[in-house]
Structure 1
């Protein structure tokens, strides 16, 4: 088999990096959204252990929002920092900090109250602000074009699996004799363990792995057309920030940020206050939607790669098609969910929410990986821009809920939030369908050395 077609070992060094980044996404979302369930137990008695404390916090939505205060700070500079200091090193430091803060959250709640938790969450957000841009930087150097959608789907599903794990375990832990603090101890300890593993196995690119086979390295680098990375490369900020394709991704991410924050952060409260599920059922039922999303992500990713590699669809038409499925179908289902009559069986509402979140997985083969098409060299920087838009609205959503939903059991007030989320999906899907491109941008070139 020639170098052009030999992909190297069945399980190569790139697959090790895929697994590490996949588990990073699981832990990132576990420590990001565990509070959405745990805060119910932190503010009312749920544990069988009378020694587990609970608090009277009227500003719960502010506590939920605080993570995103820090999260937006490093999104855009993360790509540049990763280029200068090494993506692996910064990712390792960020995960260690994030995990330590998770472990400290119960102590902060006991000693400093809601303000202490807000501080921990904001600092966790600051640490996690580099996760996705640096992951994109690493994926851009490890993932061949032929595997882009399926690996993008794998990474997307890591975030989804993190939600499944969180919503499944957190409710159970909160009701147990260990109480809600055990939730933070568990995910914090797992993050520390991941940091140790990544220190040993994580790598910045194929060129930094001495034991990689020549076949696998050539396959990756010839496929990508980008080779040895230069830490002294200058990011073309003006070109990136004035690029219509980048602004298209940014605007698409705005709509998805609002819609996703509505579902991920606020639906556990909706289940509890409107649909009247107890906290244990709440966590399990919330996880169902992400199990559907997790499974369908693989279907979407492999389907997209197959259609492109076989020549049935161009890359841009595949991106548009899958993004449209993920945006428009999700918007329709969420709209139906919001307008269900009050006497509808509550499990019908659950089924609709599960379906909407499941079909939303199609965006993992749409706008979510479009930045790799535009510029593999600066994928981390574009991801930072993309995430900035997504998370800015994730800050606003919980605050909007607190302002609009003054009675948490009022369906009409919740409907305003749900309809707004649906509209965001429609608008962002339309923007991507009209303006997106998969052409590699001119400013991508000229920052890597040729393979010797």
Structure 2
């Protein structure tokens, strides 16, 4: 069957919008590296052989104490420290979702990235002062990272033609998947050779450099960018001519919160965040405690699924645009397909790896695939809010990300508590994760939509 050819567009690989997607990609790599590196440095930061004494007592040998100080934190304290960043992120999502349509994205993203990077530089000093200061540091880092997480989506309202949204979004957001891989790869080597504090210094300095690049290279409006070509400017102007924003109008909160497609996105995001938080924060602990693997190899194995997930997320974005441009699949089918591919395999594989007959090698392969397939969600639920409500995209993204981050917050804290009570409670942890994923997939398949909803087509009278 013949299909009409897609609209003429500037070469994607040579376009400024692709360059901005890559810049945003590396900003996300920096942020996630800063967030995730603590899950592996925690193995080096915490004493696991001496009886627990004073909470912040340093128990390392005198010669190692300078470059590798060790603290006597209980598993429950470690869980609170690891999840502290998740406490800060949800608080900023809805306010930032509303303000992202008003405040310049350039200033919001650049400032928040800079703040997160400075807090990363301060983390080793905070650890010396006590776990309370580390928790505070991570909390405010969560506020800054949550700001970037929501505000960055507003970039594509003006910079992404409709037939390129999947690939540009997947390129930029895939940095959130590559970041943990980079963090885990670098952390194992740096911790052993230079000491774990250097991990925070390296990722903090890298983030500061990227924030400066962002301020120099990014412009909120393509019309104002000094380096954009006339061809690309015309393409963006024509392809986005009919797209509207909320423009300061009141948000239809009631209609939004009673919309089943919104809840389909939110609950699947809840499951995605629940699953990925466990993978990001606790996979090094699982590999260390269950498979008894040293830190350097631990870092390599923990990084592998995130690296594969990064590849799959980029491929998913390109595949989604291909299916859409060739009219092979409807947009709603594309969203449901990639969301299912992102959430169902982790549910099945995570439980299967704990079967008594499964070898350590099979466990590693299973966990790698379980974490990696989450990358498919980048072409599914992650971009779905822009389909159903482009006018209120910033606010809606804030709402859905907030609900999703609650999943990450609960899973990180609950996992820490369960491991504190029983170090062998991994089966319960993975079984609960599988139940949440399957339930959310069923809800998404039934209620998800990909067309603009009635409440998002015209200004509604509901006020905040």
Change in Cα spacing, 1:212 to 1:446, as seen in structure 2 (3 Å) is farther
Q: Name which of structure 1's ranges 16-25 and 94-103 shifts more when overlaid on structure 2.
A: 16-25
Change in Cα spacing, 1:246 to 1:205, as seen in structure 2 (3 Å) is farther
Match for 1:17 among 20, 27, 43?
Answer: 20
Change in Cα spacing, 1:65 to 1:323, as seen in structure 2 (3 Å) is same
Change in Cα spacing, 1:10 to 1:300, as seen in structure 2 (3 Å) is closer
Match for 2:131 among 100, 114, 131?
Answer: 114
State whether residues 23 and 158 of structure 1, in contact with CA within 8 Å, keep that contact through their aligned partners in structure 2. Answer: yes
Change in Cα spacing, 1:315 to 1:297, as seen in structure 2 (3 Å) is same
Match for 2:428 among 416, 423, 438?
Answer: 416
Match for 1:138 among 140, 155, 172?
Answer: 155
Match for 1:161 among 152, 157, 178?
Answer: 178
Q: Matches of residues 27-176 of structure 1 in structure 2 within 5 Å?
A: 27-44=30-47, 49-51=64-66, 52-58=68-74, 59-111=77-129, 113-176=130-193
Aligned pairs, number: 439
Match for 2:312 among 290, 296, 306?
Answer: 296
Q: Name which of structure 1's ranges 54-63 and 399-408 shifts more when overlaid on structure 2.
A: 399-408
Cα drift, residue 266 of structure 1: 1.3
Equivalence for 2:371: 357
Q: Deviations over 1:65-86 (max 9, x none)?
A: 1111111111111122222221
State whether residues 142 and 220 of structure 1, in contact with CA within 8 Å, keep that contact through their aligned partners in structure 2. Answer: yes
Match for 1:383 among 373, 397, 421?
Answer: 397
Equivalence for 1:309: 325
Cα drift, residue 385 of structure 1: 1.2
SS at match of 2:219: coil
Give the structure-2-normalised TM-score: 0.89
Change in Cα spacing, 1:230 to 1:392, as seen in structure 2 (3 Å) is closer
Change in Cα spacing, 1:8 to 1:168, as seen in structure 2 (3 Å) is closer
State whether residues 273 and 408 of structure 1, in contact with CA within 8 Å, keep that contact through their aligned partners in structure 2. Answer: no
Cα drift, residue 211 of structure 1: 4.1
Q: Name which of structure 1's ranges 394-403 and 221-230 shifts more when overlaid on structure 2.
A: 221-230
Which blocks of at least 5 consecutive residues in structure 2 are unaligned? 1-5, 48-59, 460-464
Distance 1:352 1:123 in 2: 35
State whether residues 259 and 424 of structure 1, in contact with CA within 8 Å, keep that contact through their aligned partners in structure 2. Answer: no
Equivalence for 1:336: 352
Distance 1:9 1:303 in 2: 15
Q: Deviations over 1:31-85 (max 9, x none)?
A: 1111111111111359984423111111100111111111111111112222222
Match for 2:223 among 198, 201, 207?
Answer: 207
State whether residues 161 and 291 of structure 1, in contact with CA within 8 Å, keep that contact through their aligned partners in structure 2. Answer: yes
State whether residues 254 and 393 of structure 1, in contact with CA within 8 Å, keep that contact through their aligned partners in structure 2. Answer: yes
Match for 1:431 among 413, 437, 443?
Answer: 443
Q: Deviations over 1:390-423 (max 9, x none)?
A: 111211112212322236642xx11100111111
Distance 2:359 2:62 in 1: 28
State whether residues 47 and 179 of structure 1, in contact with CA within 8 Å, keep that contact through their aligned partners in structure 2. Answer: no
Q: Deviations over 1:227-253 (max 9, x none)?
A: 686864443333333322212111111
State whether residues 101 and 394 of structure 2, in contact with CA within 8 Å, keep that contact through their aligned partners in structure 1. Answer: no
Match for 1:320 among 332, 336, 340?
Answer: 336
Change in Cα spacing, 1:47 to 1:407, as seen in structure 2 (3 Å) is farther
Distance 1:248 1:228 in 2: 24
Distance 1:46 1:329 in 2: 44
Match for 1:395 among 397, 401, 409?
Answer: 409
Change in Cα spacing, 1:183 to 1:221, as seen in structure 2 (3 Å) is same
RMSD, matched Cα: 2.2
Distance 1:320 1:426 in 2: 13
Change in Cα spacing, 1:348 to 1:215, as seen in structure 2 (3 Å) is same
Change in Cα spacing, 1:445 to 1:86, as seen in structure 2 (3 Å) is farther
Moved over 6 A (4+): none
Distance 1:406 1:129 in 2: 28
Q: Matches of residues 184-263 of structure 1 in structure 2 within 5 Å?
A: 184-226=200-242, 232-263=248-279
Cα drift, residue 445 of structure 1: 4.5
State whether residues 132 and 383 of structure 1, in contact with CA within 8 Å, keep that contact through their aligned partners in structure 2. Answer: no
Give the structure-1-normalised TM-score: 0.91
Distance 2:366 2:13 in 1: 39
Change in Cα spacing, 1:228 to 1:401, as seen in structure 2 (3 Å) is closer
Distance 1:355 1:290 in 2: 10
SS at match of 1:74: helix
